[in-house]
């Protein structure tokens, strides 16, 4: 790398990423609900000084933690779910009930369409989903329809939702394996939409459980799992267990800790304690505290 | 088959309310053919698998995550797989129309509009649930049914706060993009309904044994067509009961969702 041979080294720290996120940016967060969320990056953003973010996500505790930290001004989402009991994220709910965020709620398929439009540098893509529902009301005039120039066989003409491109200033995703140049793979059952988030964004950040040499990456998985190539990545951050407490390809969701997160959110004192111990700390400390917390649950004092 | 089986169930096999609900959910898929069945709760999941083990062997079912099951395992179990269906391919599937989803609902109105998003004003709700999820895309693209384990006038009210699932009164007949709106059934712990009443309003198809028309009316915030004349829900057959009890739900998950 130092001799100009081979692709550049993009390995970075969480702090380097946070330094590049500016107030008011539109941030796409990969994963899905309680699944393979870039939680280490989310935690780093939550403890940073950044504010007034617009977040695009298939939401889970990623959106919850950013709401808890008061970082979210506007959210574009198809749903917000923790995926296991108690399902509803408490901090997203609090932000909504307080009227603290502007919601651009939409059908799940509309997010995919919006990211695909952005990835293809198109202003919109037509989609049926959203017609007849309250989705256009959530968008307060921002969401328009488009009329087909081609009538159907019976002479009637389709009017469809013109899903606008969800162009992102930055995308944050978590993939199970990556090399230092930004080639990356998932090892679980679902790629989710992480490649689309990266393709829709100006600045592209991949956190990974395991940073490996390129030859090990391509030996570890079948080629179809290499959903992200380096032309769509700016920085790679090695964050073992970084998707915690959501699941990733190599570890399950931490349902016990997720429940503790939800319980803590319901009480001012408990949340202060949760925040001090798990959020106002760097990532290695977080991981160590989570391990200690689990040991405490098994062996209560 | 119904009269003898009903007699048998009432006097002999003693099917529970939950078992009537599972059989009614299986009947949602009668004639569905080779499509993806996407049940979103335990009782309709049991119904879809029951249909697949009896009259609808060509249905596709998944493990609820990303794998298409070759087997029809018990609830909570996985089995041999036959394919892959990650979320992005789910959206391709629903856009193709080859799917029948059974969703839950916090609210359903007389015309079939459904809410699972939140209660109260859009930008300042009084209670937050999931958001609209896939409901707008499901209802505009393919057959949709609903499962309500506790039939009440809070669910079946005058209007829904947020339209997630599109009702029949939202259909623009001049716009062919609405042509596939089809709310097929609503199954509750009290009975089986559709939207075949006047102007696509909710209609009673059958009430479960022991349920009266008065009870349904008291627990519904609008008039239901054909309520007084609705027959009794057909009893599960002996084969269905055996499959429910011994194969699909030996631990009685159904009884935690619907109490007898």
Question: What residues in B contact A112, CB-CB < 8 Å?
Answer: 88, 91
Burial profile A269-295: b = 16 or more Cβ within 10 angstroms, e = fewer: eebeebbebbeebebeebbeebeeeee
Question: Could you tell me the residue ranges of all domains in chain B?
Answer: 17-253
Candidate from B66, B128, B139 with C-beta closest to A97? B128
The CATH superfamily holding the domain B17-253 is Glutaconate Coenzyme A-transferase (3.40.1080.10)
Burial profile B193-209: b = 16 or more Cβ within 10 angstroms, e = fewer: bbbebeebbbbbbbbbe
| B108 contact partners, CB below 8 Å, separation of at least 6 | B114, B115, B146, B148, B155, B156, B160, B165, B186, B202
Q: Per residue in A121-154, pLDDT tens?
A: 999 999 999 999 999 999 999 999 999 999 999 9
Contact between residue B120 and residue B228 where contact means Cβ atoms under 8 Å apart: no
Domains of chain A: 14-107+166-287 (3.40.1080.10), 124-164 (no CATH)
Give burial (CB, 10 Å; 0-12/13-18/19+) of A65.
Answer: buried
CB contact under 8 A, A132 and B122: no
Give burial (CB, 10 Å; 0-12/13-18/19+) of A4.
Answer: exposed
A297 touches chain B (CB under 8 A): no
- Chain pair A-B, CB pairs under 8 angstroms: 145
Contact between residue B204 and residue B197 where contact means Cβ atoms under 8 Å apart: no
User: What is the distance in angstroms between the Cα of A147 and the nearest Cα belonging to chain B?
Assistant: 10
Residue of B nearest to A195 (CA): B88
Question: What residues in B contact A105, CB-CB < 8 Å?
Answer: 117, 122, 131-132
Residue of A nearest to B177 (CA): A158
pLDDT tens over chain B, length 260 residues: 343 444 334 434 699 999 999 999 999 999 999 999 999 999 999 999 999 999 999 999 999 999 999 999 999 999 999 999 999 999 999 999 999 999 999 999 999 999 999 999 999 999 999 999 999 999 999 999 999 999 999 999 999 999 999 999 999 999 999 999 999 999 999 999 999 999 999 999 999 999 999 999 999 999 999 999 999 999 999 999 999 999 999 999 999 999 87
Residue of A nearest to B161 (CA): A134
Question: What residues in A contact B166, CB-CB < 8 Å?
Answer: 131-133
A76 touches chain B (CB under 8 A): no
> How many C-alpha atoms does A19 have within 13 Å on its Cβ side?
6
Q: Per residue in B30-46, pLDDT tens?
A: 999 999 999 999 999 99
Residue of A nearest to B139 (CA): A129
Looking at residue B1, its pLDDT comes to 36
* pTM for this model (two decimals): 0.96
């Amino acid at each position: 790398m130092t001799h100009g041979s081979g692709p550049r080294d993009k390995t970075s720290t969480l702090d380097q990423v946070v330094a590049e996120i500016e107030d008011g940016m539109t941030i796409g967060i990969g994963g899905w609900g309680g699944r393979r969320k870039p939680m280490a990056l989310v935690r780093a953003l939550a403890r940073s000084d950044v504010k007034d973010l617009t977040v695009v996500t298939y939401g889970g505790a990623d959106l919850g933690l950013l709401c808890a930290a008061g970082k979210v001004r506007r959210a574009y989402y198809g749903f917000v779910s923790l995926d296991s009991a108690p399902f509803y994220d408490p901090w997203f709910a609090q932000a909504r009930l307080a009227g603290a965020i502007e919601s651009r709620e939409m059908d799940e398929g509309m997010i995919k369409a919006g990211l695909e439009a952005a990835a293809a540098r198109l202003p919109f893509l037509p989609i049926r989903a959203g017609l007849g529902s309250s989705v256009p009301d959530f968008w307060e005039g921002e969401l328009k329809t488009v009329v087909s120039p081609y009538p159907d066989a019976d002479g009637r003409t389709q009017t469809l939702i013109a899903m606008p491109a969800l162009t992102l200033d930055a995308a944050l995703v978590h993939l199970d394996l990556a090399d230092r140049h930004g080639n990356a793979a998932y090892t679980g059952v679902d790629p989710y939409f992480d490649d689309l988030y990266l393709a829709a964004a100006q600045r592209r950040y991949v956190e990974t459980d395991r940073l490996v040499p390129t030859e090990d990456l391509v030996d570890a998985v079948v080629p179809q799992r290499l959903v992200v190539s380096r032309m769509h990545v700016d920085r790679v951050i090695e964050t073992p267990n970084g998707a915690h407490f959501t699941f990733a390809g190599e570890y399950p969701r931490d349902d016990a800790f997720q429940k503790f997160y939800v319980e803590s959110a319901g009480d001012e004192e408990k949340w202060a304690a949760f925040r001090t111990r798990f959020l106002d700390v760097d990532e290695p400390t977080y991981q160590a505290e989570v391990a200690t917390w689990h040991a405490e649950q098994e062996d209560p004092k | 088959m119904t009269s003898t089986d009903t007699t048998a169930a009432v006097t002999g096999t003693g099917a529970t309310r939950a078992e009537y609900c599972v059989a009614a959910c299986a009947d949602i898929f009668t004639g569905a053919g080779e499509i993806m069945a996407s049940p979103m709760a335990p009782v309709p999941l049991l119904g879809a698998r029951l249909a697949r083990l009896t009259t609808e062997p060509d249905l596709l079912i998944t493990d609820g995550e990303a794998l298409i099951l070759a087997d029809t395992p018990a609830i909570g179990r996985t089995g041999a797989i036959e394919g892959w269906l990650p979320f992005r391919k789910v959206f391709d599937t629903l856009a193709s129309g080859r799917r029948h989803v059974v969703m839950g609902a916090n609210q359903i109105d007389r015309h079939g509009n459904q809410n699972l998003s939140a209660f109260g004003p859009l930008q300042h709700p009084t209670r937050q649930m999931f958001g609209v999820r896939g409901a707008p895309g499901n209802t505009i693209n393919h057959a949709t049914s609903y499962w309500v384990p506790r039939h009440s006038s809070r669910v079946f009210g005058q209007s829904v706060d947020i339209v997630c699932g599109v009702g029949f009164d939202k259909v623009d007949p001049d716009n062919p993009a609405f042509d596939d709106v089809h709310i097929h059934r609503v199954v509750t712990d009290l009975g089986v309904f559709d939207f075949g009443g006047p102007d696509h309003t909710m209609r009673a198809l059958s009430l479960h044994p022991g349920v009266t028309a008065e009870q349904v009316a008291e627990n519904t915030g609008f008039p239901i067509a054909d309520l007084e004349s609705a027959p009794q829900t057909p009893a599960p057959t002996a084969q269905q009961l055996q499959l429910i009890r011994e194969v699909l739900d030996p631990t009685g998950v159904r009884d935690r969702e619907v109490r007898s």
